[in-house]
Amino acid sequence: MSTAKAEGPVMIDAHCHLHFAAFDGERDEALARAADAGVRGLVVADYDHRLRGALQHLGERPGVAVCAGVHPWAVDALGAEALTRELTLLEEALASPGWAAVGEFGLDFVRATDKDARALQLRACSAQLRMARERELPVVLHAVRCHSTLHDLLRREGPSPAGGIMHGYSGSARQVPLFLMHGLDISVGGRLAKHAEKLRAVVQQVPADRLHLETDCPDGPVPGDSGSERSEPADLVEVVRAVAAALGQSPERLAARCAENTRRLFHLDSTLSADA
17 a known binding residue?
yes
User: What integer is the mean pLDDT of 135-145?
Assistant: 98
Q: Answer yes or no: are the C-beta atoms of 202 and 188 closer than 8 Å.
A: yes
15 a known binding residue?
yes
Say if residue 3's pLDDT is above 50.
Answer: no
What is d(CA 225, CA 259) in angstroms, rounded to the nearest whole number? 23
pLDDT at 1 (0 to 100): 31
pLDDT band at 159 (very low <50, low <70, confident <90, very high): confident
pLDDT at 227 (0 to 100): 66
What is d(CA 275, CA 29) in angstroms, rounded to the nearest whole number? 9
pLDDT at 4 (0 to 100): 41
What is d(CA 188, CA 168) in angstroms, rounded to the nearest whole number? 5
CA–CA distances in Å: residue 30 to residues 1, 23, 106, 167, 276: 11, 8, 28, 22, 12
Q: Answer yes or no: are the C-beta atoms of 142 and 108 closer than 8 Å.
A: yes
Domain ranges for the chain: 11-266
User: What integer is the mean pLDDT of 174-184?
Assistant: 97
Strands 64-68 and 99-108: parallel
Strands 39-44 and 99-108: unpaired
pLDDT at 6 (0 to 100): 53
pLDDT at 92 (0 to 100): 98
Beta strands (DSSP E) in the chain are 11-16, 39-44, 64-68, 99-108, 139-144, 164-166, 184-188, 211-213
Say if residue 25's pLDDT is above 70.
Answer: yes
Instruction: For 11-266, give the CATH class.
Output: alpha beta
44: β partners: 16, 66
104 a known binding residue?
yes
Say if residue 5's pLDDT is above 60.
Answer: no
Tell me what the pLDDT averaged over the chain comes to. Answer: 94
Q: How many residues does the chain have?
A: 276
Strands 11-16 and 39-44: parallel
26-72 residue pLDDT tens:
999 999 999 999 999 999 999 999 999 999 999 999 999 999 999 99
pLDDT at 86 (0 to 100): 98
Residue 89 main-chain phi, psi, to 5 deg: -60, -40
The most confident of the ranges 76-80, 192-196, 261-265, 272-276 is: 261-265
Q: What is the separation of C-alpha 137 from the centre of its chain, rounded to a whole number of angstroms?
A: 14
80-122 residue pLDDT tens:
999 999 999 999 999 999 999 999 999 999 999 999 999 999 9
In the chain, what is the straight-line distance between the N-terminal and C-terminal CA atoms, in Å? 9
Say if residue 201's pLDDT is above 70.
Answer: yes
147 a known binding residue?
no
For the chain, percent of residues with pLDDT exceeding 90:
90
pLDDT band at 7 (very low <50, low <70, confident <90, very high): low
Say if residue 74's pLDDT is above 50.
Answer: yes
Question: Using CA atoms in the order 240, 143, 205, 271, what is the torsion angle rounded to 10 degrees?
Answer: -40
**What is the side-by-side order of every strand in the sheet holding 11-16?**
11-16, 39-44, 64-68, 99-108, 139-144, 164-166, 184-188, 211-213
Say if residue 2's pLDDT is above 50.
Answer: no
